[in-house]
Structure 1
């Protein structure tokens, strides 16, 4: 599932590497306008959860999509010892191939991003560990509202299994808050999602907190974000 979401148009920038090792290989950087707008607010919140002492911090990103968030977080938090493993689901189609190519294109120059991206279906259990081992943080943006129930439940179950005590699952996107969807634009968005796929839609924070509790985690913080989005932080006990 792409972090860009199916309703967003993508602007593809195609360039060619001049080095001999990449000669004649096209590199496609997909740009999701929403990701460009929200990557800096997301980074600002993530600074609160990546330790500033320089100790190594390993993060698994679920549904990396275009790779924009991965690249921005890796660049912005490199001084804090953050290492990121991006991942995407492999649907064996052109959209999957484009996502994997875009992630590599955005992140190739960043030494603290582990490439290639993992091919990961988060609905499957158990989820394999990243090559660097158990992550300290699992980050997932703009996936939950355009995912199947199996994928949402898999995200929380796998996070509970992968994260060590003190680890965190951090998610970003639009949600129903304690049973209410607001403002009206979010309610309209929820209806449009459910019309397209009955298994999609804005998940309620109480429902997600219940999934977290079943996986040995607890909802510890909710950060209100621009454009009627939220970042939710779940701590592993």
Structure 2
């Protein structure tokens, strides 16, 4: 029954489940022993845990120390390279791509050429002569049906096709009128043969005007106007 004797007043307590003295209220020896045992057990666990932690740290230090210094330097350089590349990629993604310049239109597709009659458009080889003024330079080969009969002196014929605003087209027609040519058609379509047997043509509906090279004569120029579909 020594386990039930109060550690302060030596009072004997009956009942093994009591934790405090019924006489003075002090903890009994049995309870005190249990507390001490619990404290001792906790201290032992803490001590073991600390030992494990120290052992783990020592093992890690040994592993790190086992690698040569040059390998750690190489690893550091590799990490720095990855970081640098990542920064460059992130910055490049924020830049907008430069806009690509528009390709120039293909030769012979200006507004002047597109308004030509089909027979002239298919029978001519054209290229841009003045992009700002929408002027195309076209050539009809000597053997073309459009020049059959030697109306151009058995040579190729060059003409210039232009797309103009109504005001500019009126100015062109006015200049031709005062140049002393022979007017063949006058109205929405103006056609004339110039003093040097050249063809002058303007269509106020489409804005097309063209001027040809020299034919063998006035009759040859008029033949071309009809054959090419410029006049009826």
TM-score by length of 2: 0.22
Q: Give the number of the structure whose alpha-carbon radius of gyration is greater.
A: 2
TM-score by length of 1: 0.22
- Greater helix content: 2
- Greater strand content: 1
